[in-house]
Structure 1
Amino acid sequence: MYGMAIAHHRGMLRPLAPRPKAPGARRRPRLGAMFVVLAALGLAGFGLAELVLPGGTEPVPYRTWQGPEAGAAGRETQVATTNAEWHALWSSLRRDPAPAFDPSRQTGVAILLGQRPTPGYHVGILGTEQRGDRVIVLIEETRPPGSAVLPHRVTSPYAILLIDQSGAPVSVEQRVRD
């Protein structure tokens, strides 16, 4: 390094001639290129590539209905992929007629929060997205303001989604507000 600095200072730096290869000698890979490849593999392995690399997700269109009373004691997600499942899901939560359902292009999803001590809770749908072969439903449980004076009446909030995608497994991810 010291010799190169002096040569450069004097304006005498010349490109180095390639070293002759010995027969059977292996070329050493560049350390920088190896680092980039290993970093990309590490991000993919930890599922972080979609946060860094563009194009990891696509929004999926959907319609939604919500209500305060599902009658469910615990948290649950139900998925409907047939007409019979869709009508059973819908009629267990609502009294109005079920919207049209086409199992060849739609999936029905019900998200039940379970029992809550007062009114004012509901399922906030943040969106749906395609990640690989899965459809992800992003939700947030919305709570009543801490200063609200509400009656003590047990509720069981729910949301129903009719997603314009069929055949893909569905997962629900809950986002938590700080």
Structure 2
Amino acid sequence: MAVISGALTLSVAMGRAPRDKKEGGAMEDVAKLAATEASPSFWRGAQSGVSKPDIRVVKEEKAWAALWKEEFNTEAPKVDFSRYFAVAVFLGLRNTGGYGVEFLTPVAEKGKVRIAYRVKSPGTGSFVIQAFTQPYAIQLYRRTPLEVTVEKGD
């Protein structure tokens, strides 16, 4: 029994990430900004009301409600904007299905947080729906005191 207990203690201790020396400071571990504890914290789809590419950073309830009303003609999901902010990426009108948005790990650079995203495209010869689509993705992130920029990544 002591061997099992010791093995469990060792495996738990080894699985822990080292503490960031700057924890709670301005240069917090930005890789952990994605709000995984909020449910839901991520929305994506192939149909929105946005026909041109657009990026939005939403930090307040009024803008959040307007985004959902204007682009999806529905009520906005509940979000605690004292703890979170949202990044919405709209790809605009596409001729087929198979497109999407993938958010990359946030990176701290020069006192700012850079949130990059990748456009996912259908592969050559892929079977996709032959219909117009307007792909989008929306991700919640934990609030940060740093300035946030959003851009297309690699």
Instruction: Specify if TM > 0.5.
Output: yes
**Letter paired with 1:83:** E
Structure 2 residue aligned with 1:61, among 34, 37, 41?
34
Higher relative contact order (CA 8 A, sep 6+): 2
Instruction: Provide the residue aligned with 1:169 in structure 2.
Output: 147
Is the radius of gyration larger for structure 1 or structure 2? 1
1:34-73 aligned within 5 A: 58-59=30-31, 60-62=33-35, 63-73=41-51
Q: State the alpha-carbon separation in 2 of the partners of residues 134 and 82 from structure 1.
A: 20
Return 5+ residue gaps in structure 1 as ranges: 1-54
User: Shift of the alpha carbon at 1:149?
Assistant: 3.4
Structure 2 residue aligned with 1:80, among 58, 63, 70?
58
Which segment drifts farther, 134-143 or 117-126? 134-143
Check whether the contact 2:91–2:135 (CA below 8 A) recurs between aligned residues. yes
Q: Matched residues, percent identical?
A: 28
**Letter paired with 1:78:** R
1:10-49 aligned within 5 A: none
1:16-56 CA distance string (max 9 Å, x none):
xxxxxxxxxxxxxxxxxxxxxxxxxxxxxxxxxxxxxxx89
Structure 1 residue aligned with 2:84, among 97, 106, 110?
106
Q: State the alpha-carbon separation in 2 of the partners of residues 117 and 75 from structure 1.
A: 14
Which segment drifts farther, 167-176 or 149-158? 167-176
Check whether the contact 2:60–2:81 (CA below 8 A) recurs between aligned residues. yes
User: Shift of the alpha carbon at 1:137?
Assistant: 1.7
SS at match of 1:77: strand
Q: State the alpha-carbon separation in 2 of the partners of residues 82 and 149 from structure 1.
A: 40
How many residue pairs align between the two structures? 122
User: Shift of the alpha carbon at 1:132?
Assistant: 4.3
User: Shift of the alpha carbon at 1:97?
Assistant: 4.8
Q: What is the root-mean-square deviation in Å for CA atoms of aligned residues? A: 2.5
**Letter paired with 1:80:** V
Alpha-carbon spacing, 1:100–1:116, altered in 2? closer, same or farther (3 Å): same
Alpha-carbon spacing, 1:151–1:166, altered in 2? closer, same or farther (3 Å): same
Instruction: Provide the residue aligned with 1:153 in structure 2.
Output: 131
Which segment drifts farther, 74-83 or 159-168? 159-168
Q: State the alpha-carbon separation in 1 of the partners of residues 148 and 30 from structure 2.
A: 14
Q: State the alpha-carbon separation in 2 of the partners of residues 75 and 112 from structure 1.
A: 5
SS at match of 2:69: helix
Q: State the alpha-carbon separation in 2 of the partners of residues 68 and 105 from structure 1.
A: 28
